[in-house]
């Protein structure tokens, strides 16, 4: 039983050896040697080997004839192979001989291809380098021509487009190193031109303002003679007729040079040829500098610098001369400078994109308005000449209308003119006080003798005398009043005219003008003329005849008051029955003076009676 199991185990080991890789039979053989029947296993192994040898021999005997036939065929092929080898060697020799020419041609072709590739590479590099050189040459020309904004554009294109395409070359490195220097040079040059521009407009603001005011004055005359037009036509958008002033006076300067700026906001093609006050100034330095600083990314720096400098100039312009009140020319120069300043700012506001904004201009105008009003109040208070005050008022109105045409609010200026109206009235009262006293001093207090009809008509044209009995008398005859009456009446009308002149162009209604004239005339009658009459009675040693003549003169002046009211109504077109219309107090005034004269007359009569006794 044990031998059978051992035989089966040995058979298994042999099958495992036959079917397993030789590298892995170590454990199998070890298991054989670990057992006790390794001799028996060796016998089994030898028997298996002999069995396999017999099978190999059988196989060889079966395939031997085929092997022999194959060897015979191979020997036959050997000869043919030798012939083929000889032919191949001969063909190779001939091919080598024939290929030498081809190899030479191929070498030449290779060199040509290399040259062609080098040429193409060179052409490509030149195609990228030539635009750089051309652009740099154009940049140099623009710099020499001082066309800095196009030069800056060329510089940007050169740096960001052309140089990166050109590659790393020595000349490209030199150009790249020069670009920051060129930028700094352009920026400094543009700032220098801006400073020159600011200095120029500071010096010529007087001329600019003078031209703008002349245009406004001409526009006013055109409006009054043709048809009433909006005052806005005086300003920036409606100066076609007003521009004739500049052309006729030869004050036009070089036209606006903005070919490099490209920033003007032209609103109407028809207005391009219309010269104005702004055309006296070349604004191109501002536009160029604004564009240059915008491209450089420094627009905020430029805006702050420009506004700061203009604020400083505004303070200088708004500072009046200490002797401005002495002559009208001083006021005119002051107003011209202010108008010139704001004309420039208005032009900058409407032709640049945000260099100055409406809030900035309004802030400047509010500052200017407060300083102008304060200066005018101070300096006008020194004036005691009504003609100068009237001329100043007309100048202020023209100044206000001019700036109103450019869109600036001027209502405070007209309010100030109404304040000056009180001062003007006081100055007029002082002048007429002197005039009335001179007339009274020159009066002889006797009736006026009239010899001819012409003399009579002359006096009645000066004073509204209505006396049918006197007209029936033949010449020579005497008027009941003295020279004082027609002269005083003419002066009263002159005073009314003077008040009316100040009220013109103040945008007042007829009722307001009528009320102002009547109040001023009342002051003249109740205060000035009344005091002058009282002064004349007390100053002179008035006799009985002179006192009677004073009473007669006062009576006629009293009767003429309603003619003065009609005169005021005719020039103001306001009927006297209008509600709240001011009445003249002349009648009451003359009655008071008449009472004083009567008291004096009674005193003289009483004194004469005592002398008779």
Q: Is 185 helix (H, G, I), strand (E, B) or coil?
A: helix
Max mean pLDDT range (44-48, 241-245, 359-363, 503-507): 359-363
Report phi then psi at 176, rounded to 5. -60, -35
CB 289 within 8 A of CB 190: yes
Once rounded to an integer, what is the mean pLDDT over residues 366-389? Answer: 90
Once rounded to an integer, what is the mean pLDDT over residues 527-534? Answer: 83
Mean pLDDT of the residues in the chain: 79
Task: Check residues 212 and 230 and name the one with the higher pLDDT.
Answer: 212
Confidence at 240, pLDDT banded by 50, 70, 90: very low
Residue 457 Cα distances to 127, 186, 452, 483, 492, angstroms = 104, 83, 9, 15, 20
| Full-model pTM | 0.65
Kindly tell me if the per-residue pLDDT of 610 is higher than 70. no
Once rounded to an integer, what is the mean pLDDT over residues 488-506? Answer: 89
Instruction: Please give the Cα distance from 48 to 59 (Å, whole number).
Output: 17
Query: 594 Cβ partners below 8 Å, 6+ apart?
Result: 551, 554, 555, 558
Once rounded to an integer, what is the mean pLDDT over residues 548-565? Answer: 83
% of the chain with per-residue pLDDT over 90? 19
Compute the half-sphere exposure of residue 402: CA atoms within 13 Å on the CB side of its CA: 29
Position 234 scores a pLDDT of 39
Kindly tell me if the per-residue pLDDT of 503 is higher than 50. yes
Instruction: Please give the Cα distance from 463 to 466 (Å, whole number).
Output: 9
Confidence at 591, pLDDT banded by 50, 70, 90: very low
Position 585 scores a pLDDT of 57
Once rounded to an integer, what is the mean pLDDT over residues 87-100? Answer: 89
CB 392 within 8 A of CB 328: yes
Tell me 160's DSSP state: I
Q: Is 323 helix (H, G, I), strand (E, B) or coil?
A: coil
Position 313 scores a pLDDT of 92
Position 579 scores a pLDDT of 41
Q: Is 202 helix (H, G, I), strand (E, B) or coil?
A: helix
Once rounded to an integer, what is the mean pLDDT over residues 371-386? Answer: 89
Residue 54 Cα distances to 10, 17, 71, angstroms = 21, 19, 25
Render pLDDT for 413-468 as a digit per residue (tens, 0 to 9): 999 998 888 889 899 999 999 898 888 888 888 888 888 888 888 888 888 877 77
Max mean pLDDT range (232-236, 341-345, 545-549): 341-345
Once rounded to an integer, what is the mean pLDDT over residues 556-566? Answer: 83
Helices (H), 20-37: 26-34
Position 315 scores a pLDDT of 92
Once rounded to an integer, what is the mean pLDDT over residues 125-137? Answer: 84
Among 46-50, 172-176, 291-295, 532-536, the least confident range: 532-536
Render pLDDT for 205-226 as a digit per residue (tens, 0 to 9): 889 999 999 888 888 777 666 5
Confidence at 594, pLDDT banded by 50, 70, 90: very low
Position 70 scores a pLDDT of 83
Position 230 scores a pLDDT of 43
Position 224 scores a pLDDT of 64
CB 525 within 8 A of CB 585: yes
CB 321 within 8 A of CB 334: yes
Kindly tell me if the per-residue pLDDT of 515 is higher than 80. yes
Task: Check residues 189 and 167 and name the one with the higher pLDDT.
Answer: 189
Task: Check residues 387 and 544 and name the one with the higher pLDDT.
Answer: 387
Cα angle for residues 277, 282, 287 (degrees, 5° grid): 120
Kindly tell me if the per-residue pLDDT of 333 is higher than 90. yes
CB 498 within 8 A of CB 549: no
Among 10-19, 243-252, 590-599, the least confident range: 243-252
Render pLDDT for 336-371 as a digit per residue (tens, 0 to 9): 999 999 999 999 999 888 889 899 999 999 999 999
Once rounded to an integer, what is the mean pLDDT over residues 132-160? Answer: 85
Cis ω before 12 (30° cut-off from 0): no
With the C-alpha atoms ordered 68, 69, 72, 78, is the resulting torsion angle positive or negative? negative
Position 607 scores a pLDDT of 35
Kindly write down the DSSP assignment for every residue of 576-611, as one continuous string. Answer: TTSTTPPPP-HHHHHHHHHHHHHHHHHHHHHHHHHH
């Amino acid at each position: 039983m044990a031998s059978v199991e051992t035989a089966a185990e040995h058979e298994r080991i042999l099958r495992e050896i036959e079917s397993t890789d030789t590298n892995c039979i170590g454990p199998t053989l070890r298991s054989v040697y670990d057992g006790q029947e390794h001799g028996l296993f060796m016998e089994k192994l030898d028997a298996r080997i002999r069995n396999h040898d017999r099978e190999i021999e059988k196989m060889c005997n079966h395939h031997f004839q085929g092997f022999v036939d194959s060897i015979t065929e191979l020997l036959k092929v050997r000869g043919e192979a030798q012939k083929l080898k000889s032919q191949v060697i001969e063909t190779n020799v001939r091919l080598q001989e024939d290929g030498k020419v081809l190899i030479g041609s191929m070498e030449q072709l290779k060199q040509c291809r290399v040259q062609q590739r080098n040429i193409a590479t060179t052409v490509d590099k030149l195609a990228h380098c030539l635009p750089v050189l051309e652009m740099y040459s154009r940049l140099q020309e623009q710099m020499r021509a001082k066309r800095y904004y196009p030069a800056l554009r060329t510089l940007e294109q050169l740096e960001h487009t052309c140089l990166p395409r050109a590659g790393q070359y020595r000349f490209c490195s030199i150009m790249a190193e020069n670009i920051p220097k060129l930028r700094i040079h352009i920026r400094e040059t543009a700032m220098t031109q801006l400073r020159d521009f600011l200095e120029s407009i500071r010096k010529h603001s007087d001329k600019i303002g003078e031209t703008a005011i002349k245009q406004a004055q001409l526009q006013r005359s055109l409006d009054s003679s043709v048809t009433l037009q909006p005052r806005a036509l005086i300003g920036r958008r409606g100066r076609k007729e007003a521009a004739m002033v500049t052309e006729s006076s030869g004050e036009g300067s070089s036209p606006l040079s903005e070919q490099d700026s490209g920033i003007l906001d032209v609103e109407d093609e028809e207005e391009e040829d219309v010269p104005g006050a702004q055309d006296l100034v070349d604004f191109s330095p501002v536009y160029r500098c604004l564009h240059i600083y915008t491209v450089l990314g420094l627009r905020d720096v430029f805006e702050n610098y420009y506004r700061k400098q203009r604020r400083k100039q505004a303070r200088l312009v708004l500072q009046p001369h200490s002797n401005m009140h002495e002559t009208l020319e001083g006021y005119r120069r002051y107003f011209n400078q202010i108008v010139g300043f704001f004309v420039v700012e208005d032009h900058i506001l409407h032709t640049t994109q945000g260099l100055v904004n409406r809030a900035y201009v309004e802030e400047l105008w509010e500052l200017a308005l407060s300083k102008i009003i304060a200066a005018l109040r101070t300096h006008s208070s020194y004036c005691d000449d009504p003609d100068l005050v009237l001329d100043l008022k007309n100048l202020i109105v023209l100044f206000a209308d001019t700036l109103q045409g450019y869109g600036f609010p001027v209502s405070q200026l007209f309010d100030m003119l109404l304040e000056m109206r009180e001062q003007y009235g006081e100055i007029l009262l002082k002048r007429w006080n002197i005039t009335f006293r001179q007339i009274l001093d020159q009066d002889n207090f006797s009736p006026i003798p009239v010899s001819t009809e012409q003399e009579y008509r002359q006096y009645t044209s000066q004073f509204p005398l209505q006396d049918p009995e006197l007209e029936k008398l033949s010449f020579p005859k005497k008027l009941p009043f003295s020279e004082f009456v027609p002269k005083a009446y003419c002066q009263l009308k002159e005073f009314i005219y003077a008040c009316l002149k100040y009220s013109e162009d103040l945008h007042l209604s007829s009722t307001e003008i009528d009320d102002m004239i009547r109040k001023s005339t009342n002051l003249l009658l109740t205060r000035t003329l009344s005091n002058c009459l009282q002064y004349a009675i007390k100053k002179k040693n008035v006799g009985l005849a002179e006192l009677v003549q004073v009473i007669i003169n006062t009576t006629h002046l009293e009767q003429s008051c309603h003619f003065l009211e009609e005169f005021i109504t005719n020039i103001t077109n306001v009927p006297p029955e209008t509600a709240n219309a001011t009445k003249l107090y002349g009648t009451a005034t003359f009655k008071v003076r008449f009472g004083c004269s009567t008291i004096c007359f009674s005193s003289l009569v009483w004194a004469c009676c005592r002398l008779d006794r």
